[in-house]
Amino acid sequence: MKILHLVHRSWPYHGGAERYVLEHALAGNRWGHESVICTTNAWDMSWLVSRSGQYIKRRSDIWNGIEIIRFPVVHPPLQNLLRAVLRRISLCGPDRYFYPNPFIPSLHRWLSVDRGFDFVHANAMPFMLYEGWCHSRKTGAGLASVPLPNVGEKYRSIKALHYFSGCQKKILQNSTFVVAQSQFEKELYTGMGIPEERVHISGCGIDQEEFQNADPDLVLKRFGIKKPLVLSLTAHCRDRGTEHILEACRNLWMKGHEFTLMLAGPVFPDVEKYLADCSESVGEFNENIVITGYVSNSDRIDLLAAADMLLQPSRLDCFGIVILEAWASGKPVIGCWSGGMPDMIQDGSNGFLVSWGDTVSLMNRIEILLGNPELGQVMGSRGRKEVLERFTWEKVTDSFYRRLSQCCQEVSSV
Protein backbone atom coordinates (compact mmCIF):
# COMPACT_ATOMS: atom_id res chain seq x y z
CA MET A 1 0.00 0.00 0.00
CA LYS A 2 1.24 3.49 -0.85
CA ILE A 3 0.49 5.98 1.93
CA LEU A 4 0.57 9.78 1.75
CA HIS A 5 1.33 11.55 5.05
CA LEU A 6 0.41 15.25 5.20
CA VAL A 7 1.74 17.61 7.88
CA HIS A 8 2.68 21.31 8.07
CA ARG A 9 6.37 20.67 8.93
CA SER A 10 8.66 17.67 8.93
CA TRP A 11 12.25 16.49 9.39
CA PRO A 12 14.77 17.95 10.08
CA TYR A 13 12.54 20.13 12.30
CA HIS A 14 11.76 18.37 15.58
CA GLY A 15 8.39 18.98 17.19
CA GLY A 16 5.44 16.99 18.52
CA ALA A 17 3.25 16.75 15.41
CA GLU A 18 6.31 16.49 13.19
CA ARG A 19 7.69 13.55 15.17
CA TYR A 20 4.26 11.91 15.32
CA VAL A 21 3.94 11.85 11.53
CA LEU A 22 7.55 10.82 10.92
CA GLU A 23 7.22 7.85 13.27
CA HIS A 24 4.02 6.75 11.52
CA ALA A 25 5.74 7.01 8.14
CA LEU A 26 8.69 4.92 9.39
CA ALA A 27 6.31 2.36 10.89
CA GLY A 28 4.46 2.19 7.57
CA ASN A 29 7.65 1.00 5.92
CA ARG A 30 8.08 -1.54 8.71
CA TRP A 31 4.55 -2.82 7.98
CA GLY A 32 5.46 -3.25 4.32
CA HIS A 33 3.92 -0.03 2.98
CA GLU A 34 5.52 2.78 0.98
CA SER A 35 5.40 6.12 2.81
CA VAL A 36 5.70 9.64 1.40
CA ILE A 37 5.51 12.81 3.51
CA CYS A 38 4.27 16.03 1.89
CA THR A 39 4.82 19.20 3.87
CA THR A 40 5.64 22.90 3.57
CA ASN A 41 9.10 24.46 3.43
CA ALA A 42 8.57 26.21 6.79
CA TRP A 43 11.10 25.96 9.59
CA ASP A 44 9.57 28.59 11.86
CA MET A 45 5.80 28.68 12.30
CA SER A 46 6.00 32.39 11.46
CA TRP A 47 7.09 31.48 7.91
CA LEU A 48 3.63 30.02 7.36
CA VAL A 49 2.12 33.50 7.44
CA SER A 50 4.98 35.98 6.91
CA ARG A 51 8.52 36.32 5.59
CA SER A 52 9.90 36.92 9.09
CA GLY A 53 10.70 33.28 9.76
CA GLN A 54 13.20 30.77 8.46
CA TYR A 55 12.51 28.17 5.79
CA ILE A 56 14.14 25.05 4.32
CA LYS A 57 15.53 25.53 0.82
CA ARG A 58 15.74 21.87 -0.16
CA ARG A 59 12.63 20.78 -2.06
CA SER A 60 12.96 17.14 -1.06
CA ASP A 61 14.89 14.65 1.06
CA ILE A 62 15.12 10.91 1.56
CA TRP A 63 15.48 10.11 5.26
CA ASN A 64 15.62 6.49 6.46
CA GLY A 65 13.74 5.39 3.36
CA ILE A 66 11.04 8.08 3.68
CA GLU A 67 10.59 10.54 0.82
CA ILE A 68 9.89 14.05 2.16
CA ILE A 69 8.56 16.55 -0.40
CA ARG A 70 8.35 20.24 0.56
CA PHE A 71 6.03 22.74 -1.07
CA PRO A 72 6.83 26.46 -0.81
CA VAL A 73 4.66 28.78 1.24
CA VAL A 74 3.44 31.79 -0.76
CA HIS A 75 3.09 35.21 0.91
CA PRO A 76 0.60 37.21 -1.18
CA PRO A 77 0.33 40.99 -0.90
CA LEU A 78 -2.50 42.38 1.25
CA GLN A 79 -2.64 38.99 2.95
CA ASN A 80 -4.96 40.08 5.77
CA LEU A 81 -7.56 41.41 3.33
CA LEU A 82 -7.26 38.35 1.11
CA ARG A 83 -7.76 36.01 4.05
CA ALA A 84 -10.82 37.95 5.20
CA VAL A 85 -12.40 37.62 1.74
CA LEU A 86 -11.54 33.94 1.33
CA ARG A 87 -12.89 33.08 4.78
CA ARG A 88 -16.28 34.32 3.54
CA ILE A 89 -16.44 33.10 -0.05
CA SER A 90 -14.18 30.04 -0.31
CA LEU A 91 -15.13 26.43 0.28
CA CYS A 92 -14.13 25.62 3.87
CA GLY A 93 -12.82 29.18 4.13
CA PRO A 94 -13.51 29.76 7.85
CA ASP A 95 -10.98 27.09 8.85
CA ARG A 96 -8.60 27.01 5.84
CA TYR A 97 -7.70 30.70 5.94
CA PHE A 98 -7.38 31.63 9.58
CA TYR A 99 -3.86 32.11 10.91
CA PRO A 100 -1.49 30.26 10.86
CA ASN A 101 -2.80 28.26 7.87
CA PRO A 102 -0.54 29.14 4.91
CA PHE A 103 -1.03 29.57 1.18
CA ILE A 104 0.57 26.61 -0.65
CA PRO A 105 -1.00 26.48 -4.14
CA SER A 106 1.67 24.13 -5.49
CA LEU A 107 0.59 21.42 -3.03
CA HIS A 108 -3.02 21.78 -4.14
CA ARG A 109 -1.98 21.46 -7.79
CA TRP A 110 0.24 18.44 -7.02
CA LEU A 111 -2.58 16.67 -5.20
CA SER A 112 -5.09 17.40 -7.96
CA VAL A 113 -3.44 14.55 -9.88
CA ASP A 114 -3.78 10.89 -8.91
CA ARG A 115 -0.33 9.91 -7.58
CA GLY A 116 -1.18 6.29 -6.87
CA PHE A 117 -1.76 6.67 -3.13
CA ASP A 118 -4.04 4.07 -1.56
CA PHE A 119 -4.41 5.88 1.76
CA VAL A 120 -4.01 9.44 3.05
CA HIS A 121 -2.90 10.26 6.60
CA ALA A 122 -3.71 13.97 7.07
CA ASN A 123 -2.49 15.74 10.18
CA ALA A 124 -2.62 18.71 12.47
CA MET A 125 -3.85 21.80 10.60
CA PRO A 126 -7.12 22.44 8.72
CA PHE A 127 -5.46 23.22 5.39
CA MET A 128 -3.73 19.82 5.43
CA LEU A 129 -6.89 17.96 6.42
CA TYR A 130 -8.72 19.76 3.61
CA GLU A 131 -6.07 18.81 1.02
CA GLY A 132 -6.13 15.20 2.21
CA TRP A 133 -9.92 15.11 2.01
CA CYS A 134 -9.95 16.54 -1.52
CA HIS A 135 -7.35 14.04 -2.72
CA SER A 136 -9.22 11.18 -1.05
CA ARG A 137 -12.51 12.15 -2.73
CA LYS A 138 -10.84 12.57 -6.14
CA THR A 139 -8.91 9.28 -6.12
CA GLY A 140 -10.97 7.03 -3.85
CA ALA A 141 -8.10 6.62 -1.39
CA GLY A 142 -8.87 5.96 2.24
CA LEU A 143 -8.46 8.82 4.72
CA ALA A 144 -7.31 8.96 8.33
CA SER A 145 -7.80 12.47 9.75
CA VAL A 146 -5.73 13.55 12.75
CA PRO A 147 -6.88 17.09 13.69
CA LEU A 148 -4.70 17.49 16.83
CA PRO A 149 -7.00 20.32 18.00
CA ASN A 150 -5.99 22.66 20.81
CA VAL A 151 -9.29 22.79 22.66
CA GLY A 152 -8.21 23.66 26.20
CA GLU A 153 -9.66 22.17 29.36
CA LYS A 154 -12.70 19.89 29.37
CA TYR A 155 -14.97 22.33 31.18
CA ARG A 156 -13.21 25.48 29.98
CA SER A 157 -12.58 25.07 26.28
CA ILE A 158 -10.73 27.63 24.21
CA LYS A 159 -13.46 29.83 22.78
CA ALA A 160 -12.29 30.23 19.18
CA LEU A 161 -12.40 26.67 17.84
CA HIS A 162 -11.41 27.67 14.31
CA TYR A 163 -10.54 24.04 13.64
CA PHE A 164 -14.23 23.23 13.32
CA SER A 165 -15.68 26.47 11.98
CA GLY A 166 -15.69 25.45 8.30
CA CYS A 167 -15.62 22.00 6.67
CA GLN A 168 -13.78 20.18 9.44
CA LYS A 169 -16.91 18.50 10.75
CA LYS A 170 -17.79 17.23 7.27
CA ILE A 171 -14.20 16.09 6.66
CA LEU A 172 -14.10 14.12 9.90
CA GLN A 173 -17.51 12.59 9.28
CA ASN A 174 -16.37 11.43 5.83
CA SER A 175 -12.99 10.06 6.94
CA THR A 176 -12.32 6.34 7.01
CA PHE A 177 -11.44 6.88 10.64
CA VAL A 178 -10.49 9.79 12.89
CA VAL A 179 -7.54 9.73 15.29
CA ALA A 180 -7.99 11.27 18.75
CA GLN A 181 -5.15 11.73 21.23
CA SER A 182 -7.27 11.26 24.34
CA GLN A 183 -10.68 10.21 25.62
CA PHE A 184 -11.52 13.89 26.01
CA GLU A 185 -10.79 14.48 22.32
CA LYS A 186 -12.78 11.40 21.34
CA GLU A 187 -15.81 12.76 23.17
CA LEU A 188 -15.42 15.99 21.21
CA TYR A 189 -15.71 14.07 17.92
CA THR A 190 -18.57 11.81 18.96
CA GLY A 191 -20.38 14.98 20.04
CA MET A 192 -19.99 16.16 16.43
CA GLY A 193 -21.85 13.09 15.19
CA ILE A 194 -18.89 10.86 14.34
CA PRO A 195 -19.70 7.24 15.26
CA GLU A 196 -17.71 6.04 18.25
CA GLU A 197 -16.43 3.01 16.35
CA ARG A 198 -14.75 5.29 13.78
CA VAL A 199 -12.70 7.20 16.36
CA HIS A 200 -9.30 5.68 17.14
CA ILE A 201 -7.53 6.83 20.32
CA SER A 202 -3.82 6.95 19.63
CA GLY A 203 -1.66 9.15 21.82
CA CYS A 204 2.03 9.72 21.16
CA GLY A 205 5.17 7.83 22.06
CA ILE A 206 8.91 7.88 22.64
CA ASP A 207 11.92 5.80 21.67
CA GLN A 208 13.46 4.77 24.97
CA GLU A 209 16.85 4.10 23.35
CA GLU A 210 17.25 7.81 22.60
CA PHE A 211 17.44 8.56 26.31
CA GLN A 212 20.07 6.02 27.29
CA ASN A 213 23.11 8.12 26.32
CA ALA A 214 21.96 11.50 27.61
CA ASP A 215 24.72 13.81 28.88
CA PRO A 216 23.23 16.29 31.39
CA ASP A 217 26.63 17.74 32.34
CA LEU A 218 27.16 18.84 28.75
CA VAL A 219 24.21 21.25 28.70
CA LEU A 220 24.76 22.39 32.27
CA LYS A 221 28.28 23.51 31.35
CA ARG A 222 27.27 24.99 27.99
CA PHE A 223 24.60 27.25 29.47
CA GLY A 224 26.27 27.80 32.82
CA ILE A 225 23.25 26.47 34.67
CA LYS A 226 23.10 26.28 38.43
CA LYS A 227 20.97 23.48 39.81
CA PRO A 228 18.18 22.87 40.58
CA LEU A 229 16.88 23.33 37.05
CA VAL A 230 13.20 24.01 36.35
CA LEU A 231 12.61 23.34 32.65
CA SER A 232 9.91 24.47 30.24
CA LEU A 233 10.48 22.85 26.84
CA THR A 234 7.98 24.05 24.24
CA ALA A 235 7.22 26.85 21.80
CA HIS A 236 6.71 29.62 24.33
CA CYS A 237 3.53 31.66 24.14
CA ARG A 238 0.75 32.77 26.45
CA ASP A 239 -1.52 29.79 25.67
CA ARG A 240 1.28 27.43 26.65
CA GLY A 241 1.46 29.08 30.06
CA THR A 242 4.84 30.76 29.72
CA GLU A 243 3.65 33.99 31.35
CA HIS A 244 2.26 32.00 34.27
CA ILE A 245 5.54 30.10 34.63
CA LEU A 246 7.48 33.37 34.79
CA GLU A 247 5.08 34.85 37.36
CA ALA A 248 5.15 31.72 39.55
CA CYS A 249 8.96 31.52 39.43
CA ARG A 250 9.35 35.24 40.14
CA ASN A 251 7.26 34.81 43.31
CA LEU A 252 9.38 31.84 44.37
CA TRP A 253 12.60 33.79 43.84
CA MET A 254 11.14 36.61 45.94
CA LYS A 255 10.52 34.05 48.69
CA GLY A 256 14.21 33.15 48.63
CA HIS A 257 14.20 29.94 46.59
CA GLU A 258 17.29 29.44 44.46
CA PHE A 259 16.92 27.66 41.13
CA THR A 260 17.35 28.24 37.40
CA LEU A 261 14.38 28.52 35.06
CA MET A 262 15.12 27.49 31.48
CA LEU A 263 12.75 28.39 28.65
CA ALA A 264 13.93 25.98 25.95
CA GLY A 265 12.42 26.33 22.49
CA PRO A 266 11.26 29.17 20.24
CA VAL A 267 9.81 32.27 21.94
CA PHE A 268 6.74 33.80 20.29
CA PRO A 269 6.19 37.58 20.07
CA ASP A 270 3.56 37.66 22.84
CA VAL A 271 6.08 36.30 25.36
CA GLU A 272 8.80 38.62 24.06
CA LYS A 273 6.41 41.53 24.63
CA TYR A 274 5.54 40.21 28.10
CA LEU A 275 9.22 40.05 29.03
CA ALA A 276 9.76 43.58 27.75
CA ASP A 277 6.71 44.91 29.62
CA CYS A 278 7.78 43.16 32.82
CA SER A 279 11.44 44.04 32.54
CA GLU A 280 11.46 45.86 35.88
CA SER A 281 9.81 43.07 37.86
CA VAL A 282 11.42 40.12 36.07
CA GLY A 283 14.70 41.82 35.20
CA GLU A 284 16.06 41.62 38.72
CA PHE A 285 16.05 37.83 38.33
CA ASN A 286 17.59 37.70 34.85
CA GLU A 287 20.56 35.71 36.13
CA ASN A 288 18.10 32.93 37.05
CA ILE A 289 16.48 32.73 33.58
CA VAL A 290 18.00 30.99 30.55
CA ILE A 291 16.30 31.30 27.14
CA THR A 292 17.72 28.97 24.49
CA GLY A 293 15.61 29.33 21.33
CA TYR A 294 15.10 26.23 19.18
CA VAL A 295 16.84 23.11 20.51
CA SER A 296 17.77 19.99 18.55
CA ASN A 297 16.51 16.55 19.51
CA SER A 298 19.83 15.56 21.09
CA ASP A 299 19.91 18.79 23.11
CA ARG A 300 16.35 18.25 24.36
CA ILE A 301 17.31 14.81 25.62
CA ASP A 302 20.32 16.23 27.48
CA LEU A 303 18.21 19.06 28.90
CA LEU A 304 15.57 16.67 30.18
CA ALA A 305 18.27 14.57 31.83
CA ALA A 306 19.66 17.69 33.50
CA ALA A 307 16.30 19.05 34.69
CA ASP A 308 14.82 18.54 38.12
CA MET A 309 11.27 18.94 36.84
CA LEU A 310 9.35 19.79 33.68
CA LEU A 311 6.62 22.43 33.50
CA GLN A 312 3.85 22.13 30.90
CA PRO A 313 0.90 24.22 32.19
CA SER A 314 -0.40 24.58 28.62
CA ARG A 315 -3.90 24.71 27.20
CA LEU A 316 -2.52 24.55 23.64
CA ASP A 317 -1.31 20.93 23.57
CA CYS A 318 -3.74 18.22 22.57
CA PHE A 319 -1.38 15.63 24.09
CA GLY A 320 2.01 16.80 25.36
CA ILE A 321 4.70 14.48 24.02
CA VAL A 322 7.36 16.31 26.06
CA ILE A 323 5.75 14.88 29.20
CA LEU A 324 6.54 11.38 27.94
CA GLU A 325 10.10 12.48 27.21
CA ALA A 326 10.48 13.86 30.74
CA TRP A 327 9.15 10.62 32.20
CA ALA A 328 11.52 8.61 30.00
CA SER A 329 14.26 10.62 31.74
CA GLY A 330 12.75 9.86 35.15
CA LYS A 331 11.65 13.46 35.84
CA PRO A 332 8.49 14.73 37.56
CA VAL A 333 6.09 16.85 35.52
CA ILE A 334 3.58 19.60 36.21
CA GLY A 335 0.93 19.59 33.51
CA CYS A 336 -2.47 21.16 32.91
CA TRP A 337 -6.06 19.95 33.09
CA SER A 338 -6.26 20.24 29.30
CA GLY A 339 -6.03 18.09 26.19
CA GLY A 340 -4.72 14.59 26.83
CA MET A 341 -2.70 15.43 29.94
CA PRO A 342 -5.40 14.35 32.45
CA ASP A 343 -5.46 10.97 30.67
CA MET A 344 -1.74 10.55 31.37
CA ILE A 345 -0.98 12.36 34.60
CA GLN A 346 -2.48 11.04 37.81
CA ASP A 347 -2.42 14.15 39.95
CA GLY A 348 -0.20 13.65 42.96
CA SER A 349 1.05 10.23 41.80
CA ASN A 350 3.18 10.53 38.66
CA GLY A 351 3.00 14.32 38.49
CA PHE A 352 0.83 17.32 39.21
CA LEU A 353 -1.98 18.99 37.27
CA VAL A 354 -2.93 22.66 37.53
CA SER A 355 -5.58 24.73 35.79
CA TRP A 356 -4.39 27.02 33.02
CA GLY A 357 -3.61 30.44 34.46
CA ASP A 358 -3.61 29.29 38.10
CA THR A 359 -0.21 30.71 39.05
CA VAL A 360 -0.79 30.16 42.77
CA SER A 361 -1.22 26.40 42.35
CA LEU A 362 1.65 26.28 39.85
CA MET A 363 3.94 28.06 42.31
CA ASN A 364 2.86 25.69 45.08
CA ARG A 365 3.59 22.55 43.05
CA ILE A 366 7.02 23.84 41.96
CA GLU A 367 7.79 24.67 45.58
CA ILE A 368 6.77 21.16 46.70
CA LEU A 369 9.11 19.54 44.17
CA LEU A 370 11.97 21.91 44.98
CA GLY A 371 11.65 21.06 48.65
CA ASN A 372 11.18 17.32 48.20
CA PRO A 373 13.50 15.85 45.53
CA GLU A 374 12.66 12.33 46.73
CA LEU A 375 9.00 12.86 45.80
CA GLY A 376 10.11 14.05 42.37
CA GLN A 377 12.16 10.89 41.89
CA VAL A 378 9.19 8.71 42.84
CA MET A 379 6.90 10.60 40.46
CA GLY A 380 9.45 10.36 37.66
CA SER A 381 9.87 6.64 38.23
CA ARG A 382 6.11 6.08 38.09
CA GLY A 383 5.93 8.14 34.92
CA ARG A 384 8.71 6.12 33.31
CA LYS A 385 6.82 2.92 34.05
CA GLU A 386 3.71 4.44 32.43
CA VAL A 387 5.69 5.32 29.29
CA LEU A 388 7.20 1.86 28.88
CA GLU A 389 3.82 0.19 29.37
CA ARG A 390 1.70 2.44 27.13
CA PHE A 391 3.60 5.04 25.16
CA THR A 392 6.39 3.69 22.99
CA TRP A 393 6.33 4.62 19.29
CA GLU A 394 6.14 0.96 18.33
CA LYS A 395 2.98 0.41 20.37
CA VAL A 396 1.35 3.63 19.17
CA THR A 397 2.11 3.13 15.47
CA ASP A 398 1.30 -0.59 15.48
CA SER A 399 -2.12 0.28 16.90
CA PHE A 400 -2.65 2.74 14.04
CA TYR A 401 -1.68 0.25 11.33
CA ARG A 402 -3.79 -2.51 12.85
CA ARG A 403 -6.73 -0.11 12.61
CA LEU A 404 -5.81 0.82 9.04
CA SER A 405 -5.56 -2.85 8.06
CA GLN A 406 -8.92 -3.56 9.64
CA CYS A 407 -10.54 -0.72 7.69
CA CYS A 408 -9.01 -1.91 4.41
CA GLN A 409 -10.26 -5.47 5.05
CA GLU A 410 -13.76 -4.14 5.72
CA VAL A 411 -13.71 -2.22 2.43
CA SER A 412 -12.42 -5.18 0.41
CA SER A 413 -15.10 -7.48 1.87
CA VAL A 414 -17.98 -5.15 0.83
Q: pLDDT by residue (tens digit) across 384-396?
A: 999 999 999 999 9
Ordered alpha helix ranges (H), 359-392 = 359-371, 373-390
In this structure, what are the phi and psi dihedrals at residue 93, rounded to the nearest 5 degrees?
-55, -40
Q: Are residues 81 and 153 in the same domain?
A: yes
pLDDT range class, residue 53, cuts 50, 70, 90: confident
Q: Are residues 370 and 262 in the same domain?
A: yes
Count of domains in the chain?
2
Q: Are residues 27 and 172 in the same domain?
A: yes
Residue 252 belongs to what H/E stretch?
Answer: helix 242-254
Q: Are residues 250 and 190 in the same domain?
A: no
Q: pLDDT by residue (tens digit) across 76-108?
A: 999 999 999 999 999 888 889 988 899 999 999
In this structure, what are the phi and psi dihedrals at residue 292, rounded to the nearest 5 degrees?
-100, -25
Does position 160 have pLDDT exceeding 60, yes or no?
A: no
> Which of 32-36, 164-168, 286-290 reaches the highest mean pLDDT?
32-36
Q: Are residues 273 and 170 in the same domain?
A: no
pLDDT range class, residue 206, cuts 50, 70, 90: very high
**Distance between CA atoms of residues 393 and 24, nearest Å:** 8
Query: How many CB atoms neighbour CB 385 within 10 A?
Result: 12
Give the bridge partners for 330, in sequence order: none
Overall pTM surpassing 0.85 (yes/no): yes
Q: Are residues 109 and 140 in the same domain?
A: yes
**Residue 135 belongs to a domain with what CATH number?**
3.40.50.2000
What integer is the mean pLDDT of 354-381? 97
Classify 334 as helix, strand or coil. Answer: strand
Q: Are residues 188 and 280 in the same domain?
A: no
**Distance between CA atoms of residues 200 and 196, nearest Å:** 8
Q: pLDDT by residue (tens digit) across 320-360?
A: 899 999 999 999 999 999 988 998 999 999 999 999 999 99
Burial class (CB in 10 A: 0-12, 13-18, 19+), 71: buried
Q: Are residues 96 and 139 in the same domain?
A: yes
Q: pLDDT by residue (tens digit) across 238-281?
A: 999 999 999 999 999 999 999 999 999 999 889 999 888 887 76
Burial class (CB in 10 A: 0-12, 13-18, 19+), 377: middle
The pLDDT value given to residue 318: 83
H helix count then E strand count, the chain: 17, 16
Window from 37-41, 67-71, 156-160, 223-227 with minimum mean pLDDT: 156-160
Does position 411 have pLDDT exceeding 60, yes or no?
A: no
Q: Are residues 333 and 400 in the same domain?
A: no
Domain range holding 161? Answer: 2-205+392-413
Q: Are residues 99 and 145 in the same domain?
A: yes
The pLDDT value given to residue 275: 87
**Distance between CA atoms of residues 15 and 17, nearest Å:** 6
**Distance between CA atoms of residues 250 and 355, nearest Å:** 19
The pLDDT value given to residue 102: 96
Classify 248 as helix, strand or coil. Answer: helix
Q: Are residues 154 and 195 in the same domain?
A: yes
Does position 163 have pLDDT exceeding 70, yes or no?
A: no
Transcribe 60-114 into DSSP letters: EEEETTEEEEEEPPB--TTHHHHHHHHHHHSTTHHHHTSTTPPB-HHHHHHHTS-
pLDDT range class, residue 310, cuts 50, 70, 90: very high
Q: Are residues 61 and 194 in the same domain?
A: yes
